[in-house]
Structure 1
């Protein structure tokens, strides 16, 4: 479904990603881990068609840079760290923004009942249909994340990409989000790619992962096979060696992960 070969990209003359390659099959979920500045957000921007690049990113055998944005939006939906709303739309209207990719001709075409019903379906799916007439500016962080998830679902994407989706969410909201996404991918037709800092969330909700350091992949595979040494190399956090015994199981690192 998604194939990256020798991907390199960055900003102006600053090369961030260097020779990144991996494959992701439909129905597989992928977590991207690494320290700040390693290229995590740059990677998902490139996959989303927001950055020019060298090498190759193929989505269903089509080069991403050659796919029109409207068509790419029907395959990939993105939830960023900061989904800004500059006008106080209602929740219903905010989620309807995800349907415009499927409207004919123009964004000025009034959505018909079919699209309105689909928006209601997305709101019901994430459990906030009762809030549809509320203004989005009145919501909590957890409620707002559900709105943006419903908006992503309204695009009918094959892939949802998340950039630090657990930021500003309490534990309950984090669990609800990732449990929903796990259920969404169980049909093996949908895929989630997520950038995370929280290692315990990554291991609990994702089987596959990549670790980035200085724009290069230093680990890819099943996250259950991660070792403490992998994490020490990735995060370059030497003090951690004094906090943990390298012979202990990986799960014991989670008690100090916030220091990474």
Structure 2
């Protein structure tokens, strides 16, 4: 049996004495993608922050068999990277320089300026992987939302992480940009055997991307497993408090008119 890249065991986490997450357990293998779904306030983003080592927790999180609490922050950044939704731009860096920032964790000492041959080669590889090599000289404030999110994906990949955490990465993107980002992620992660844990609000996008699903409600796991096994009308009703299946059927019937 393959050893999980990340193994979460009975984790409780939050921002005060009252935990947001309660008794969370799951595991993800290399090359596997997991999407976390649930209503607002259920603990999805808190889970990602916990996995990234940003907030304290009780229980156990093992990264390749090593306790996350025993790993230095810089070493965590070499193994885990986060891709969030497109945010406001405050600096007019070039695309190339923005992606190069992802290499900082691999440099000796604290120098931000010492760029190695491997850094340059890896940045080029990442830019080409998401099809933005030709934009490398452009300033990031000149890009569309979809192009900018590809830059951030390239920067994420430049860290050489084994685990990528996605925090609603398709928010504020149009349909074409959402689709392109999901396809890039699927291809890269399968090809390079990276594990991905993503938070999505859009169930359809999650189904397009994920191998496995976790449904959270009130900080606890309501269902988890392969998407074919846990995507049921009963589970959706329990988690979201509405007849999601009936809502989807109405949308599907409208789409049938198009085709």
Counterparts of 1:18-97 in structure 2, within 5 Å, are: 18-97=22-101
Distance apart, 1:84 and its partner CA: 4.9
Match of 1:230 among 219, 235, 238: 235
CA offsets, 1:13-70, max 9 Å, x none?
A: 3420011111112221100000000000000110011110011111101111221111
Q: Which moved more, 1:106-115 or 1:18-27?
A: 106-115
**CA–CA separation in structure 2 for the residues paired with 1:74 and 1:125:** 19
Counterparts of 1:144-183 in structure 2, within 5 Å, are: 144-183=148-187
Distance apart, 1:186 and its partner CA: 2.1
SS of the aligned residue for 1:119 comes to: helix
Please tell me whether the aligned partners of residues 32 and 196 of structure 2 are also in contact (alpha carbons under 8 angstroms).
yes
**Which residues of structure 1 form unaligned runs of 5+?**
246-250
CA RMSD of aligned residues (A): 1.9
Distance apart, 1:173 and its partner CA: 1.1
Match of 1:190 among 194, 199, 204: 194
SS of the aligned residue for 2:14 comes to: strand
Count of aligned residue pairs for this structure pair: 248
**CA–CA separation in structure 2 for the residues paired with 1:185 and 1:114:** 21
Please tell me whether the aligned partners of residues 200 and 254 of structure 1 are also in contact (alpha carbons under 8 angstroms).
no
**CA–CA separation in structure 1 for the residues paired with 2:199 and 2:12:** 18
**CA–CA separation in structure 2 for the residues paired with 1:7 and 1:228:** 28
Q: Which moved more, 1:70-79 or 1:178-187?
A: 178-187
**Which residues of structure 2 form unaligned runs of 5+?**
254-259
**CA–CA separation in structure 2 for the residues paired with 1:33 and 1:67:** 28
Please tell me whether the aligned partners of residues 91 and 136 of structure 1 are also in contact (alpha carbons under 8 angstroms).
yes
Distance apart, 1:83 and its partner CA: 4.3
SS of the aligned residue for 1:15 comes to: coil
SS of the aligned residue for 2:121 comes to: helix
